[in-house]
A and B are shown apart, each in its own frame.
Chain A
Amino acid sequence: MVYEECVTHESSWDADEALTAVYTAHYTSLVRLGALLLRDTGTAEEIVQDAFVAMHGRWNRLRDPHQALAYLRTAVVNRCRSRQRHLVVVDKHTPRSLPDEPSAEHAVLRTAETDRVIEAMRTLPEKQRTVMVLRYYGDLSEAEIAEAMGISRGSVKSHAARATKSLRQVLEQSL
């Protein structure tokens, strides 16, 4: 039942095979990443699906699952960010709350601790919040965050430092 020699031929995958493999491995975590950035699971699902469709069309140039993942991450982060900016503009004109819950039937209660952190994250400007989500949820390095967001490593550092400072303050107050 065990293959003694497992030679891998990822680079010979065609677009469909790559799509299925990368989807299986990363779809859920990318939707979660998008949902953490947007606080809206439905929109996150749409954005991630769009990104997968685009990745499939581009597979000839990507040719490698790791590059495909980096491509997907960048696409998801970009689309989530522009979506957020759009929402901010819309919000200014029609004040409304963002959808916060993944969905009613999945609304498992958060622990108080998570609740405080998520609330505190909301006070951050968009870039700082994105850096923090990529760093702590995505577990990305500074360089990877810089690449996904299209900013310099220096900016990643400073956004992270500012975000950490304000989060610490907010979290200490709420204790």
Chain B
Amino acid sequence: MNDHSNDPFDELMRRALAEEGDRIEPADALPEIRARAHAQRRPATRRPWVVTAGAAALGTAAAIGAFTVLDDNGKSATDDQIAGPGTTTSASGVPLSTTPGPTTATPLPPTVVPSASGKPEPAVKGALVPVYWLGDRVGVTREPTVRLYRTWAKVQGRPAVEAVRIMTSKQPPDPDYYSVWRGAEVNSVTRGNGVVTVDFNQLPKTRLDPAVADVAAQQLIYTVQGALGDSSEQVQITQQGRPGGMLFGQVDTSRPLSRAQAANVQALVWINSPMDGQITKSPVTVEGIAAAYEATVNWRAVNLKTRATQQGFTNTKEGQKLSPFAVTLKLTPGQWRIEAYLISAEDGRITDTDSKTVIAK
């Protein structure tokens, strides 16, 4: 019924209802919906992960990558047949994957027995966990020049172990993000005496600048604490049960590390929705979080084929601190890159940015 939009009555109705609707900001309910959906799910609705893995291999990683497809090297449980809480009791009781086909997983080697002081987290059937990545700031010389960006991944098994595994072995779902933890092999995540211990078979061997190394250490701390849903406990990093290695050649791990202030390490602007590679309707609402000078977030949308560009700015709910923003864009069909960015109050340079490539229908 878009045919009488010139009628002032129709205009009034649209405007008033849109305004009334915009007053409502529901809280995030996805974790709750997922938990309820899984509680009532029957085996008949299960689909093997193989399909997704195949699709991702075709180059659609962006569309599907947000869910971080677990790979076939047997390091992760790769389907829904995972044992739930209560069925996995021993320290070495990593559930076996039963996925058929080419991605058949081999049983994991037994997990290192957790130290006497710590307990592994319980395994779950499904959880949505935050995974943090590094992203470069642009045009800044002040340190740190990298910041943490968050994505979400769906995991089964032990959420913190799986989250770290994703962070250390997978491609981030946004091609602008990266991880300096690649190559590290996580053994276990255990908790006890107010400390979370993350044990690695092998720590990353990369050497980094001190400032980058600090943020990279926080990448692990944020990811682990996010998966555990508890940011109060310090994180002890060990290699084969022993603390004390120099992480990235810079960070002393002889003692547990504390979580840094979000304002010092998190990206100052990021887009939560849409996800990279998502297919969207138009108009699409771009939602994100930013800590912006005078609450101003700039945005730009570029059609990658026609180079048609739209730009403007919007405000976060509050200035200076991490606070949500939203902007609604009308996009013609095609592939668009949407960017949200902050501008330096001093010299007008772009300092922080996040971008998502989407397909508008």
1/0 per residue, CB under 8 A from B, across A10-26: the answer is 10111111011101110
Say whether B26 contacts A27, CB under 8 Å.
yes
Pick from B21, B37, B40, B275: contact of A24, CB under 8 Å: B275
Whole-angstrom distance from the CB of A78 to the nearest CB of chain B?
18
Which residues from A are CB-within-8-Å of B18?
137
Give bound CA distance, A171 to B12, whole Å: 10
Give bound CA distance, A142 to B3, whole Å: 11
Check: B176 CB closer than 8 A to any chain A CB.
yes
Say whether B59 contacts A5, CB under 8 Å.
yes
* CB closest residue in chain B, given A135: B1
1/0 per residue, CB under 8 A from A, across B254-278: the answer is 0000000000000000000111011
Interface size range on A against B: 35 or more
Within 44-70 of B, Cβ neighbours of A (below 8 Å) are at 44-47, 49, 51-52, 55, 58-64, 66-67
* CB closest residue in chain A, given B21: A32
In the complex with contacts A6-B359, A9-B55, A25-B274, A137-B47 CB distance below 8 A:
no
In the complex with contacts A45-B26, A59-B45, A102-B24, A12-B52 CB distance below 8 A:
yes
Which residues from A are CB-within-8-Å of B275?
21, 24
Check: A90 CB closer than 8 A to any chain B CB.
no
Give bound CA distance, A140 to B14, whole Å: 12
Check: A161 CB closer than 8 A to any chain B CB.
no
Say whether B154 contacts A35, CB under 8 Å.
no
Interface of B is mostly: mixed
**One of A80-88, A91-99, A109-117 contacting the partner:** A109-117
Which residues from A are CB-within-8-Å of B27?
45
Say whether B60 contacts A20, CB under 8 Å.
no
Check: B355 CB closer than 8 A to any chain A CB.
yes
Give bound CA distance, A2 to B338, whole Å: 12
Which residues from A are CB-within-8-Å of B42?
57
Whole-angstrom distance from the CB of A86 to the nearest CB of chain B?
22
Pick from A16, A23, A28, A102: contact of B126, CB under 8 Å: A16
Whole-angstrom distance from the CB of A172 to the nearest CB of chain B?
10
Give bound CA distance, A80 to B143, whole Å: 52
1/0 per residue, CB under 8 A from A, across B2-25: the answer is 100000011011111111111111
Say whether A6 contacts B277, CB under 8 Å.
yes
Which residues from A are CB-within-8-Å of B34?
16, 19-20, 56
Whole-angstrom distance from the CB of A57 to the nearest CB of chain B?
6
Check: B29 CB closer than 8 A to any chain A CB.
yes
Whole-angstrom distance from the CB of B354 to the nearest CB of chain A?
12
* CB closest residue in chain B, given A41: B24
Check: B41 CB closer than 8 A to any chain A CB.
yes
Give bound CA distance, A56 to B304, whole Å: 34
In the complex with contacts A6-B359, A53-B33, A36-B40 CB distance below 8 A:
no
Give bound CA distance, A113 to B175, whole Å: 45
Q: List, sorted by A's number, 11 A–B pairs whose CB atoms are closer than 8 Å.
A: A7-B58, A8-B60, A9-B64, A13-B52, A27-B29, A36-B21, A53-B36, A59-B45, A102-B25, A106-B23, A114-B15
Binding site for A on B (CB under 8 A): 1-2, 9-10, 12-27, 29-30, 32-34, 36-37, 40-42, 44-47, 49, 51-52, 55, 58-64, 66-67, 126, 128, 152, 154, 175-176, 273-275, 277-281, 285, 304, 335, 337, 355, 357, 359
Given known contacts A7-B58, A14-B47, A15-B41, what 6 new A-B pairs fall within 8 Å (CB)?
A1-B355, A6-B359, A8-B359, A102-B24, A113-B12, A113-B15
Binding site for B on A (CB under 8 A): 1-3, 5-10, 12-17, 19-21, 23-25, 27-29, 31-33, 35-36, 41, 44-45, 48-49, 52-53, 56-57, 59-60, 102, 106, 108, 110-111, 113-114, 116-118, 132-133, 135-137, 139-142, 164, 167-168, 171
